[in-house]
Amino acid sequence: MSRICYIFFVIVLVVNCKSPEEEKSTPNIVDGTQKYEVYQGSEMSTLMQGMYAYNMQIKNEIEAGVQPTEFPDVFLNIHTAQLSDTKTRNETFEFYSTEFIKAERLVFVEDATKAISQRYNDAIMMCVACHKSECTGPIPKIKKLLIQ
């Protein structure tokens, strides 16, 4: 009896931070046993993807009525993570990273005067604010994090 092997190819398209014209898709190919890193993102893009995933989780928690309590210290790496070659850490970047961290911290404070969903959306709007000046590509994706 012959045995049929199925090989699954999963292509994950990662949208790199480039202006829309030069935005390129970078495939990661997974065949079930090995993962081929076709594209090596910067430390910052890895951190950003992590922040995206974490905030999506927080959004789900808030919508389920759960108050998130622990600010992830790894977010502080925004001050030091290495950017891709085309980006520079300028004053605007420093300003927005500080403001973003302030806003994100407030999400984890228990007794604030603002509703949790509002404080959470304020933090996401700081992601958007920085992206407006630093890299517009991921903005539509980031806006999906907002609680309606």
Interacting residues of 106 by C-beta distance below 8 A, sequence separation 6+: 112, 114, 119, 122, 123
**At closest approach, how far in Å is the CB of 15 from ligand HEC?**
6
Q: Which residue stretch of 1-9, 27-35, 62-70, 129-137 sits at the interface with ligand HEC (rule: CB under 6 A)?
A: 129-137
Phi then psi for residue 145, to 5 deg, are -80, -20
121 binds ligand HEC (CB under 6 A): no
Binder of ligand HEC out of 59, 100, 120, 121 (CB under 6 A): 100
Q: Does 108 bind ligand HEC (CB under 6 A)?
A: no
Buried b (16+ CB within 10 A) or exposed e, 3-16: eeeeeeeeeeeeeb
C-alpha to C-alpha distance for 71 and 6, rounded to whole angstroms: 42
Site for ligand HEC in 56-95 (CB under 6 A): 83-84, 87, 93
What is each CA distance from 91 to 88, 97, 129, in whole angstroms?
10, 10, 14
| By the rule CB under 6 A, 44 interacts with ligand HEC | yes
Residues 6+ apart with CB under 8 A from 49: 14, 41
Helix (H, G, I), strand (E, B) or coil at 38: coil
Contact pick of 27, 41, 50, 68 for ligand HEC (by CB under 6 A):
41
Judged by CB under 6 A, the stretch of 31-39, 48-56, 58-66, 111-119 that binds ligand HEC is: 48-56
- What are the φ/ψ torsions at residue 82 (nearest 5 degrees)? -75, 130
Q: How many residues bind ligand HEC (CB under 6 A)?
A: 29
Q: Contact positions toward ligand HEC, by CB under 6 A?
A: 14-17, 41-42, 44-45, 48-49, 51-52, 55, 83-84, 87, 93, 96-97, 100, 126-127, 130-131, 134-135, 138, 141-142
